[in-house]
A and B are shown apart, each in its own frame.
Chain A
C-alpha cells in the first residue's frame, strides 16, 4: 500500500503545504495564525528533506538530520515569537496586526 507512494505524491503534498503557508502568512492578520503559517512552511521543508533523503539519496542521512535541526530551531523561534506576542497582548489587548501597527510610511 504505502510502497505505491512515489516521490511526486510527497512533493505535491509538501509544495501545497509550503505555498498555503506563504498564502496564510500574507493574508491572515492574526499574529498567532501568521506564526502557524510559518510553521507550516517549515514543516513542508521538513517533508521535502525527508522525502528526498528516502527516495533520491538513501546512501546518506543528511536530509533526516537537517529535518531534526529544523524542528528544534522552529521550536526556539516559536517560543520567542509567543513571548513577544504575549507582551503585545498585554499592551494592546489584541493580537491583530492592524491594531498593533502604528508605524506607517
Chain B
C-alpha cells in the first residue's frame, strides 16, 4: 500500500520534496552561498521534468479522491516544461539586490503553487479539486506582491487575492449546489447520480463555470487580469499567463468532459458565448495597449478564448487539441516574455514604443520576439499555426462553423496588433534605440529552447501523436 502511494503520487511527492529541499538549503547554507540554491533547484526540477516522461499506468488513491491517468501525467509534464523555462528566465531577476535575500523563498512558493495545480488536475472529488485550486492561487498572490518595494506590485497582489477569493466564493456556491443535487462530492458518484439536467444543476453549473472563468480570465470576468499582469514582476506575469492559465484550462476540460458530459446541452452554449466575447474583447482591447505587459495580458485573454473552442468538441480530440495548444502557447508566450524580460532587466523599459528600432541594435532578440508573435497569431511555418488549425478543426468537426468563422476573423484582428509590435521593432525609426543587450546564460538558453520548440513542435508529428497516444489511454 505504502509503495503504491509513492509510485502513484510520485510527481506530487517529487515536487514537494524539491520545494522542501529548497527551503532546507536556504536555512543551512551561509549568506554568500544562497545564490547557489537556485542551481540545485533548477537541476532537481530539470530531473523531475525528465522523470515525468517515463511511461506509467496511473491509479486511484484515498478512495477515489485522487486519481491519475497517463493524460493527467501528460498535462503535468506540459506544465513542468513551462515552469522549467520560467525558472531559467527568473535567474537574472532573482539576482537583483532587492530580491536576492528572498530568492529561495520565491522558488519554494513557485513550486508550491505548481503542486497545487498537480492536485487540481489529479483531483477525483470536489474537495481535492478545491484544495488544489487554493494551494495554487493563494501563494500566487504572494508571488504577485513579491516586489514589495514597488507600489504596483502590492496593488497587483491585493487585486489578485481579492478577485480570486471572490471567484472561489462563486465556485464553492456552485459546488454546494452540486452536493445538494447529487449527495456526494466524488466525481464518480456525480456522473452516476446526475443523469438528468435539472434547474438546480443548471444553477450549480452556472456558478461553477463563472468561478472557473474568473481564474481563466474569460471576458465578463477578466477585469483583474490586465492590472495584475502589469503590476506583478515580469517573471510572475509570465507564470500567470501561461502556467496558471494552462492548468485551469486543463481542469475545465477534465471537468466538462469527464464529470458533466451529460449536461453538454447546458454548458456548450455558455462556452460558445464566452468564447466569442473573450476573443473579441481581448483582441480589441489589446490594440490600444501601450505597455508590453498589458499588451501580452490582453493577448493572453484572447488566447483563452481560442482554448474554449477545443472544449466544444466533447471527445478525446477536444482534450488532445487543448493540450497541444497549451504546449505551443506556453513556448511562444514564454519566448515573447523572455525578450520583454531581457529588455526590462537591461533598461527598465516596458512600453511598446521603447521597442522602436530594436532590430538595429538587437537583431537576434528582435527575431525571437517576431517569431513568438507570429506563433501567437498563427502564421504557417511556426507551431502556432498548427495548434490553431487543430483547434479550428475540432470545433468544425463538432459543427460550430460560425464560431470557427468568428475565430478566424479574430485571428486576423490579432495579427494586426501583433504586427504593430513587429513594425515598431523593424520599421519605426528611433534616434535613440535600446542599447545592445547581453542577457545571462540562463535566459539565453531558455530563449533557445523556446525557439527550437516553436519550430519543431509544429512540424514534428511525433509530438502530436505522443499526445494522442497518451489521451487515448484515458
Interface positions of A (Cβ within 8 A of B): 18, 21-22, 25, 31, 34-35, 38, 41-42, 44-45, 48-49, 52-53, 56-57, 59-60, 62-63, 65-66, 69-70, 73, 76-77, 80-81, 84-85, 87-88, 91-92, 100-103, 105
A52 to B242, CA, bound (A): 38
Asked if B362 is an interface residue, CB under 8 A from chain A, the answer is no
* Bound CA span A43–B175, Å: 14
Q: A39 to chain B: closest CB distance in Å?
A: 9
Query: Are B230 and A77 in contact, with the CB atoms below 8 A?
Result: no
Query: Is the pair A45, B161 in contact by a Cβ cutoff of 8 Å?
Result: no
Q: Is the CB of B179 within 8 A of A52?
A: yes
Chain B nearest Cβ from A32, distance in angstroms: 11
Q: Which of B130-138, B330-338, B350-358, B462-470 contacts A (4 or more CB under 8 A)?
A: B130-138
A-B contact pairs, 8 of them (CB 8 A): A21-B169, A45-B172, A45-B173, A66-B130, A69-B130, A81-B162, A84-B145, A84-B161
Interface SS, B side: helix
Interface flag for B345 (CB, 8 Å): no
Task: State whether B158 touches A56 (Cβ < 8 A).
Answer: no
Q: Which residues of B, 161-186, contact A by the 8 Å Cβ criterion?
A: 161-162, 165-166, 168-169, 172-173, 175-177, 179-180, 183-185
Chain B 117-171 interface residues, beta-carbon cutoff 8 Å to A = 126-127, 130-131, 134, 138-139, 141-142, 145, 148, 151-152, 154-155, 157-158, 161-162, 165-166, 168-169
Binding site for A on B (CB under 8 A): 126-127, 130-131, 134, 138-139, 141-142, 145, 148, 151-152, 154-155, 157-158, 161-162, 165-166, 168-169, 172-173, 175-177, 179-180, 183-185, 226-227, 230-231, 285
Contact B226 A105 (CB under 8 A): yes
Q: How many Å from the CB of A54 to the closest CB on chain B?
A: 12
CB–CB B165/A49 < 8 A: no
Q: Cβ of B180 and Cβ of A41 under 8 Å apart?
A: no
The one of A38, A42, A62, A91 that contacts B154, using a Cβ cutoff of 8 Å: A91
* Cross-chain contact of B230 among A49, A66, A84, A103 (Cβ < 8 A): A103
C-alpha spacing A33/B157, complex, angstroms: 17
B146 to A: closest C-beta gap in Å: 11
A53 CB to nearest B CB, Å: 8
B127 smallest CB distance to A (angstroms): 6
Q: Is the Cβ of A76 less than 8 Å from the Cβ of B134? A: yes
In the complex, the answer to whether B176 meets A60 with C-beta atoms within 8 Å is no
**A57 (CB) vs chain B CBs: closest residue:** B183
Max count, chain A CB within 10 A of own CB: residue among B152, B168, B231: B168
Contacts of A49 in B (CB 8 A): 176, 179
Residue of B nearest to A19 (CB): B173
* Contact assessment for A62 and B130 in the assembled complex, using a CB-CB cutoff below 8 Å: no
Give complex CA distance A48, B138 in Å.
23
* A61, B162: Cα distance in complex, Å: 30
B173 to chain A, nearest CB (A): 5
A6 CB → nearest B CB, Å: 14
What residue of chain B has the Cβ atom nearest to residue A63's Cβ? B179
Residues of B within 8 A of A81 (CB): 141, 158, 161-162, 165
Quick check: B131 and A73 within 8 Å, CB to CB? yes
